[in-house]
Amino acid sequence: MPLEINVWRIDHGLTPVVFGPLDIEFRLEKILDENIDIASPNWLVIGRQVRTDHGLFIDLLAIDRDANLVVIELKRNKTYRDIVAQLLDYGSWVRELRDDKIAEIYDEYQKHWHKGRPSVSIDDAFRKKFKITIPDEINSTHELVVVAASLDPSTERIVRYLADEYGVRINAVFFRVFQDEKREYLSRAWFRDPAEVSAGLSEETTSGEWNGEYYASFGYDLETVRDGLKRGYLVAGGGLWYSQTLAMLEPNARIWANVPGAGYVGVGIVTQGMVPVDEFTVSNKSGKNVRIIDVSPAAAKLNRAKKNPETADYLVRVKWLKTFDPKDAIHEKGFFGNQNSVARPRSPKWDHTIKRLKMRFGIKET
Please state the rounded mean pLDDT for residues 49-57. 93
Pick the more confident residue, 9 or 126: 126
Q: What is the pLDDT of residue 284?
A: 86
CA distances from 26 to 34, 45, 72, 115, 204 (A): 14, 18, 14, 22, 35
Q: What is the pLDDT of residue 52?
A: 95
Q: What is the pLDDT of residue 224?
A: 96
With H, G, I as helix, E, B as strand and everything else as coil, classify residue 81. Answer: helix
The model's confidence at residue 23, banded by pLDDT at 50, 70 and 90, is: low
Is residue 251 a contact partner of residue 312, using CB atoms and an 8 Å limit?
no
249-189-132 Cα angle (round to 5): 50
| Average pLDDT value for the chain | 88
216-138-31 Cα angle (round to 5): 85
Pick the more confident residue, 21 or 249: 249
Question: Against a cut of 0.75, is the pTM above it?
Answer: no
Q: Say if residue 347's pLDDT is above 80.
A: yes
Find all residues with CB under 8 Å of 35, minimum gap 6, and list them. Answer: none
Find all residues with CB under 8 Å of 101, minimum gap 6, and list them. Answer: none
Q: What phi, psi does 171 have (nearest 5°)?
A: -150, 175
Highest mean pLDDT among 121-135, 163-177, 191-205, 219-233: 219-233
Rounded Cα distance between 170 and 47, Å, is 19
Domains identified in the chain and CATH numbers: 11-199 (3.40.1350.10), 214-361 (3.10.590)
Rounded Cα distance between 228 and 218, Å, is 9
Q: What is the pLDDT of residue 202?
A: 47
Q: What is the pLDDT of residue 281?
A: 96
Q: What is the pLDDT of residue 91?
A: 94
Determine the length of the chain: 366
Q: What is the pLDDT of residue 203?
A: 47
Please state the rounded mean pLDDT for residues 122-148. 88
Q: What is the pLDDT of residue 352?
A: 94
